[in-house]
Amino acid sequence: MSQGILFIISAPSGTGKSSLIQGLLKTQCLYNIQVSISHTTRIMRPGESHGKHYYFISKKEFRVMIQQESFLEYAKVFNNYYGTSRKFIEKMLLSGIDVFLDIDWQGANQIRYKIPNTKSIFLLPPSKDILYKRLRERGQDSDTVISKRMEKAVDEMNHYSEYDYLIINDNFEKSINDLKTIIIAEHLCLLHQKKKHNILISQLLNS
């Protein structure tokens, strides 16, 4: 069994990243895909549930997990912590399942350092106006928080060039197809195919 591929997907809040990932999971794809469930210290929002969207834990519990080196990466965002479980990722990849990590550029840097063959995707909104509109339409934050999110969005978007792939999320279905294309391309790349078919290749080349 070939090992799964780890994909990082990053984008400013309001770009539609979560919706795209869920849309991808609902479509027919040639490969098994799983979204990593992060640990966080933030308060659970309406419609969210523990173990499905996040593992909601206290800051004390989070600090203990840091000391135990349980995270592949973690970051502090808007006074809350988010972290990716090392055990979860390793288990999925060894099972041949592709894993999507929804993390920011800081977490992406940590992951790349520990797992160099990770593939990364950055999503950009069609415009700042549309990004602002999406944040307001969510109805979750005050004007002050939205302004802070817009400032943070500009900072995050400055890191797009650090990624392997770039998608402009101006059409939902097209963006999902773009994600599927990236997954297929990575599975067909020479490095992955050599590992997957090493016995066959040896037999074919053996004189």
Residue pLDDT, tens place only, 25-39? 988 777 899 999 999
pLDDT at 159 over 70: yes
Contact 114, 72 (CB under 8 A): yes
Is 11 one of the annotated binding-site residues?
yes
Is 15 one of the annotated binding-site residues?
yes
pTM reported for the whole predicted model: 0.86
Of the candidates 67, 5, 3, the one whose C-alpha atom is nearest the C-alpha of residue 36 is 5
Q: What is the mean pLDDT of residues 110-127?
A: 94
Domain 6-35+97-205 carries which CATH code?
3.40.50.300
Confidence of residue 1 (pLDDT cuts 50, 70, 90): low
Report the relative pairing of strands 71-77 and 80-85 from DSSP bridges. Answer: antiparallel
pLDDT at 66 over 90: yes
Is 47 one of the annotated binding-site residues?
no
Is 14 one of the annotated binding-site residues?
yes
Rounded Cα–Cα distance for residues 126 and 109 (Å):
25
Give the DSSP per-residue string, the chain: -PPP-EEEEE--TTSSHHHHHHHHHHS--SS-EEE---EE-SPPPTT--BTTTBEE--HHHHHHHHHTT-EEEEEEETTEEEEEEHHHHHHHHHTT-EEEEE--HHHHHHHHHHSTT-EEEEEE-S-HHHHHHHHHHH--S-HHHHHHHHHHHHHHHTTGGGSSEEEE-S-HHHHHHHHHHHHHHHHHSHHHHHHHTHHHHHHHH--
